[in-house]
């Protein structure tokens, strides 16, 4: 019997997962659909940004050397409608924000700093002018390969004239809940039955990171049904199963995966909750056997599945994205296993919730953080610095 101290820890298990990830092929993605994707190749500006010297203010385009002074207004440069004629000494052009600063002008006097038609205050060369290329130069790398494209990144690329980017295709992910006791919410429960929540949980975890799961029908703890379901699931890039990875007579998932030719890379990790998690591969398919207890499933996904999905899509830093925080009260440590404690974050203080058993998904509904409590003796005191994941 392997003792818990021989099991891989979280970092070791994650390294094993990531070592088996083959990044998915790249495809073209329109920039308007690229948010949430990982950029596969660095993306460079197609143009100088701004593409021309442009005004930062509504006012008058002038020659700084003519200010202060009384100037003759000779034209109008609006956004998208440049003034064609060049500015000569003593002249000014009415200009709006974002409009081309006409040839010959080298500053803009804001309208608030003018009187009549038109006496302008003094301005320096370059004042209120956004120089061409001041944000990015054509050819500059705007977003590096391996970056997650969030709102600022897609906006930057669109502004720099990038219409399409190269991103790894989205992983195709199957989710299979196993357990003869499971019923869909909304149907009546017979004695011994419970409502199935893990496929809802996992599909939500996937969906919020932009991956639409194929949720296959729940399978009973029956060898034939399990085999048929897993066979289908193995046709995906990632198969996530729930339940059936412990040591009971009805825990069929690991043995069936092995019959189907999957290599088990590890089974069980020194983590609480979620110890019985299994991870394997068959061909290019990654298989995560998450334990059935809902909180174990939640934790196993955040620790191992989410980073694997990021790595499949070519993320430079696949996570998990731990944040620093402080404990709002002392927490006893587990001697043998690192623990992910459900907590409520208020500012940067983390209040561990009561009800930490791995079946207590209703208690976990109050949580917005998983706090990592490293294994060891005694307790972490109030105010101890800790790392946590947002959930």
Instruction: Kindly list the residues in this chain that would bind ligand AMP in the complex (CB under 6 A).
Output: 177, 179, 181-182, 194, 196-199, 242-244, 246, 291-294, 359
Tell which one of 8, 50, 82, 179 touches Mg ion (CB under 5 A). Answer: 179
Q: Please, which residue, 244 or 274, has the CB nearer to Mg ion? A: 244
Q: Which residues contact 12 (CB under 8 A, 6 or more apart)?
A: none
Here the tokens at position 47 are 């143009």
Closest contact distance (angstroms) between CB of 197 and ligand AMP is 4
DSSP class per residue in 115-167: ETTTEE----TTTTEE-TTSSB-TT-EEE-TT-B--HHHHHHHHHTT--EEEE
Q: Please, which residue, 250 or 349, has the CB nearer to Mg ion? A: 250
From residue 88 to residue 127, the character string flagging contacts with Mg ion as x (rule: CB under 5 A) and all else as - is ----------------------------------------
* Max Cα-Cα span within the chain: 94
Instruction: Tell me: does residue 314 bind Mg ion (CB under 5 A).
Output: no
Q: Which residues contact 208 (CB under 8 A, 6 or more apart)?
A: none
Beta bridge partners of 290: 242
* Residue facing ligand AMP at closest CB distance: 292
User: What is the number of H-type helices and E-type strands within the chain?
Assistant: 8, 29
Q: Please, which residue, 41 or 193, has the CB nearer to ligand AMP? A: 193
d(CA 325, CA 378): 20
Closest contact distance (angstroms) between CB of 264 and ligand AMP is 16
Would you tell me how many other CB atoms lie within 10 Å of the CB of residue 259? Answer: 14
Q: How does 70-91 read in b/e, with b if 16+ C-beta sit within 10 Å? A: ebeebbebeeeebbeeebeeeb
What is the length of the chain? 391
- 106 interacts with, out of ligand AMP, Mg ion, none, CB within 5 to 8 A per kind: none
Q: Please, which residue, 92 or 361, has the CB nearer to ligand AMP? A: 361
Closest contact distance (angstroms) between CB of 290 and ligand AMP is 8
- 118 CA to centre of own chain: 53
Cis peptide leading into 68, omega within 30 of 0? yes
- 289 interacts with, out of ligand AMP, Mg ion, none, CB within 5 to 8 A per kind: none
- 294 interacts with, out of ligand AMP, Mg ion, none, CB within 5 to 8 A per kind: ligand AMP
Instruction: Tell me: does residue 294 bind Mg ion (CB under 5 A).
Output: no
- 58 interacts with, out of Mg ion, ligand AMP, none, CB within 5 to 8 A per kind: none
Closest contact distance (angstroms) between CB of 267 and ligand AMP is 13
Here the tokens at position 203 are 């599909």
Q: Please, which residue, 153 or 198, has the CB nearer to ligand AMP? A: 198
Closest contact distance (angstroms) between CB of 254 and Mg ion is 12
Q: Please, which residue, 200 or 384, has the CB nearer to ligand AMP? A: 200
Cis peptide leading into 273, omega within 30 of 0? yes
CA atoms within 13 A on the CB side of 319: 22
Closest contact distance (angstroms) between CB of 364 and ligand AMP is 12
Which residue from 288, 388, 292, 295 is spatially nearest to 18, judged by alpha carbons?
A: 288
Closest contact distance (angstroms) between CB of 246 and Mg ion is 8
**Reduced to 3 states, what is the DSSP secondary structure of residue 168?**
strand
Tell which one of 110, 243, 273, 291 touches Mg ion (CB under 5 A). Answer: 243
- 45 interacts with, out of ligand AMP, Mg ion, none, CB within 5 to 8 A per kind: none
Contact residues for Mg ion, defined by CB under 5 A: 179, 243-244, 292
């Amino acid at each position: 019997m392997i003792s818990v101290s021989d099991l891989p820890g979280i970092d070791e298990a994650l390294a094993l997962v990531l070592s088996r990830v083959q990044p998915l092929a790249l495809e073209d993605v329109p920039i308007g659909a690229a948010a949430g994707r990982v950029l596969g190749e660095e993306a460079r500006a197609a143009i100088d940004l701004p593409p021309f010297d442009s005004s930062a203010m509504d006012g008058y385009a002038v020659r700084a050397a003519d200010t202060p002074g009384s100037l003759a207004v000779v034209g109008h440069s609006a956004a998208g409608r440049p003034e064609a004629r060049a500015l000569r000494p003593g002249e000014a052009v009415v200009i709006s924000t974002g409009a081309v600063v006409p040839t010959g002008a080298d500053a803009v006097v804001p309208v608030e700093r003018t009187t009549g038609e038109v006496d302008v205050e003094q301005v320096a060369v370059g004042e209120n002018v956004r120089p061409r290329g001041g944000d990015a130069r054509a050819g500059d790398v705007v977003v590096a390969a391996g970056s997650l494209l969030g709102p600022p990144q897609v906006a930057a690329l669109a502004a720099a004239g990038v219409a399409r980017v190269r991103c790894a295709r989205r992983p195709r992910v199957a989710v299979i809940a196993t357990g003869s006791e499971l019923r869909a919410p909304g149907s009546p429960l017979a004695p011994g039955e419970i409502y199935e929540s893990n496929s809802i949980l996992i599909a939500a975890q996937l969906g919020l990171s932009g991956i639409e799961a194929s949720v296959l029908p729940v399978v009973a703890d029956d060898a034939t049904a399990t085999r048929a379901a897993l066979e289908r699931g193995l046709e995906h890039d990632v198969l996530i199963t729930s339940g059936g990875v412990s040591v009971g007579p009805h825990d069929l998932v690991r043995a069936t995966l092995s019959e189907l030719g999957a290599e088990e890379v590890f089974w069980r990790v020194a983590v609480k909750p979620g110890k019985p998690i299994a991870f394997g591969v068959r061909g290019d398919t990654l298989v995560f056997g998450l334990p059935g207890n809902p909180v174990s499933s939640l934790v196993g996904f955040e620790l191992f599945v989410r980073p694997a999905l990021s790595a499949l899509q070519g993320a430079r830093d696949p996570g998990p994205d731990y944040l620093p925080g402080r404990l709002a009260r002392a927490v006893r440590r587990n001697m043998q296993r690192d623990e992910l404690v459900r907590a409520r974050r208020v500012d940067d203080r983390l209040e561990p919730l009561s009800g930490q058993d791995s079946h207590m998904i209703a208690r976990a509904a109050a949580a917005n953080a998983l706090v990592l409590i490293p294994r060891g003796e005694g307790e972490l005191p109030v105010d101890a610095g800790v790392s946590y994941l947002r959930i």
